[in-house]
Amino acid sequence: MTIILGLESSCDETAAALVSADGRILAHRLATQEEEHRPYGGVVPELAARAHVEVLTPLIEAALADAKMTLDDVDVIAATAGPGLIGGVMVGLVTGKALAHATGKPLIAVNHLEGHALSPRLADRSLQFPYMLLLVSGGHCQLLHVRGPGDYARLATTIDDAAGEAFDKTAKLLGLGYPGGPRVEQAAARGNAKAVPLPRPLVGTAEPHFSFAGLKSAVMRAAQSGQYGADDIAASFQQAVIDCLVDRTRRQLSAGHPAGALVVAGGVAANQAIRAALENLAADHGVPFVAPPLWLCTDNAAMIAWAGAERYAVGLVDDMSVPARPRWPL
């Protein structure tokens, strides 16, 4: 059985994982840099790159030990090559190249977004191509028609902020701290989603895209007005995001793309209210709903190893000249 070592270091999580070609997760290790970045209220690229350098090799060793393996047992090395913060991406990709070079094993340079996009197939091995994917993370908000490894049609994207970015900015505005998404979700659970009137940008329009900048400004005005409590603002904000995501996704589900399932992936897919709303939407359209477990939604290396497995299976291998790509659309 082919064993893939996956490396992830594109943002503020450093991770190493071992996955088999039939989708068994043999080991996954992750170190988050939350504490390093917390005083700054966001990710500081230089601090992130340094922290990746310090922990990546120990994480690889720990993952190998967890699986009771050595590098000899690994068949393929997969590393995130972008998009993300260039310093961090370099750390993982150069480490992957060094390991591939030293062992003579093939290297696969993985697009981080493809890692998210294929992670639902690692979680649910019965999920077949093609499927409709809502990819919602800190840097992206896209609807993708997923046809196979390396074969994606981008149907919609955000014209300004990503959904996760909107959560993070809202958390900052409300003084909820960092990282923002989970904090806003917790506050929202205590609040009234109808308390604050907020816009739903682009909902109901003929164009396919997402927009969250106007929502963010409205949240800022609501917070500054002093009229509303933080929990009510968080709940109203989360509901507005849900309405936008559901409306845009419904539009594509109705557009006739062949899709065996509605799938959600990326860090924002860890949000329970968003998952529940999308599950209802899928049920309305008579398609199964697939969402990876929470730990597989946020950044991790198992999804990178798995994307490596999927690409390796169809012969998509890279050579040592493959560059780090801080911007790399799927």
Binding-site residue numbers for substrate are 135-139, 168, 181, 185, 271
Task: Please identify, using beta-carbon distances, which residue of 95 and 300 lies nearer to ligand KG4.
Answer: 300
DSSP string, 162-220: -HHHHHHHHHHHTT--SSHHHHHHHHHHHS-TTSS----TTTT-SS--B--HHHHHHHH
Residue whose pair of structure tokens reads 């690409």 in the numeric block: 311
Q: Quick check: 145 and 135 in contact, CB under 8 A?
A: no
- Binding residue for ligand KG4, selected from 87, 92, 266, 308, defined by CB under 6 A: 266
* Residue 139 binds which of ligand KG4, Zn ion, none (CB < 5-8 A, kind-dependent): ligand KG4
Taking the CA atoms of residue 133, residue 155, residue 157 and residue 263 in that order, the dihedral angle to the nearest 10 degrees is: -10
Task: Please identify, using beta-carbon distances, which residue of 96 and 180 lies nearer to ligand KG4.
Answer: 180
CA atoms of 52 and 150, how far apart (whole Å): 27
The number of helices, as runs of H, and strands, as runs of E, in the chain is 11, 10
Contact map string, positions 168 to 187, toward ligand KG4, x by CB under 6 A: x----------xxxx--x--
Binding residues among 112-141 for ligand KG4 as defined by CB under 6 A: 137-139
CB of 11 to ligand KG4, least distance (A): 5
Binding-site residues = 112, 116, 135-139, 168, 181, 185, 271, 299
Task: Please identify, using beta-carbon distances, which residue of 63 and 89 lies nearer to ligand KG4.
Answer: 89
- Binding residue for ligand KG4, selected from 67, 187, 264, 268, defined by CB under 6 A: 268
Q: Supply φ then ψ for residue 208, to 5 degrees.
A: -85, -10
Q: Quick check: 299 binds ligand KG4 (CB under 6 A)?
A: yes
Residue whose pair of structure tokens reads 């009771």 in the numeric block: 68
Q: Quick check: 231 binds ligand KG4 (CB under 6 A)?
A: no
Contact map string, positions 119 to 138, toward Zn ion, x by CB under 5 A: ------------------x-
Residue 79: helix, strand or coil by DSSP? strand
CA atoms of 91 and 33, how far apart (whole Å): 15
Q: Quick check: 299 binds Zn ion (CB under 5 A)?
A: yes
Residues near ligand KG4 (CB under 6 A) are: 11, 137-139, 164, 167-168, 179-182, 185, 266-268, 270-271, 298-299
